[in-house]
Homo-oligomer: A and B are copies of this chain.
Amino acid sequence: MAVRRSALQSGPSKNSGTRPGSSRGAAREQVDDAVRSGLLTGRFIPGKAVTLRGLAAELGVSPMPVREVLQRLAAENALEVKPNGRVQVPDMTPGRFQEVLKARLLLEPELAALALPRLSPKDADDLKAIDDDIDQCILSGDAESYMRLNHAFHFRIYRASASEVLLPLIDSLWLQFAPFMRTVYGRVGTVSLEDRHKEAIRAIEERNEAALRGAIIADINDGMGILGTEILTGKGKA
């Protein structure tokens, strides 16, 4: 067996046994980061089971912290615990998709508006840099990097709000639609992608709340629009 190296494993597993030099809850945090990032970049396939011992071996930890992390993510509806105990990425359904879209449209503009007064010119510059990278990824068809950067763009804005309530809710939403998004990009590619990031950046620079709300709404509609047509027009299985 010998602990197969995996894309999930960020670094060498030197953390095992000898020296728990890291602080409290290090293993749990490591697993949490790995799985969250894996979900957001679409490295987990909807419908595919996520096994406890498998993940544990892949990350070089015992099944214990994995159990806790999987429970956490199940509580956020990022993972689904089936009646037999198996854990998997939930399959997307039209109903779920419509609900996620509705929730995003309600919450994200609100949080962006909350963040606007706390966004500095430096934040705007950072966002520009991220957006440039995003354009690169769209052209080159690098879906995984695109998803990571698109998440980074939105949450760079949202995190500025220092929100303790809305931000976790939106976090949960992204974890729910990201794995599905990945399968769609895998099928239709990324070249047709459009976003309203530049509108959003301009609105931030101009401190224009209405324009920022509008850009976020348009961005969500654009991004989820092609996904919606994809899933709602007789698609088979992932």
Contacts and interface: CB of A to CB of B under 8 A. Distances in A.
Stoichiometry, copies per complex: 2
A72 interface: yes
B169 A169 contact: yes
A24 B169 CA distance: 29
Nearest to A25: B85
Interface string A71-89: 1111111000101110000
The residue in A25, A77, A110, A165 that gathers the most chain B C-beta atoms within 10 A of its C-beta is: A165
A6 to B, nearest CB: 24
Interface string A57-95: 000000000011101111111000101110000000001
A99 B103 CA distance: 15
A167 to B, nearest CB: 9
A203 to B, nearest CB: 21
A206 interface: no
A232 interface: no
Contacts of A95: 164
Contact of A103 (B74, B76, B166, B176): B166
Contact of A77 (B71, B77, B165): B165
Contacts of A169: 103, 169, 172-173
Given A68-B71, A77-B165, A103 B96 contact: no
A24 B163 contact: no
Contacts of A165: 77, 96, 99-100, 103, 173, 176
Interface of A: 24-25, 67-69, 71-77, 81, 83-85, 95-96, 99-100, 102-103, 106-107, 110, 163-166, 168-169, 172-173, 176
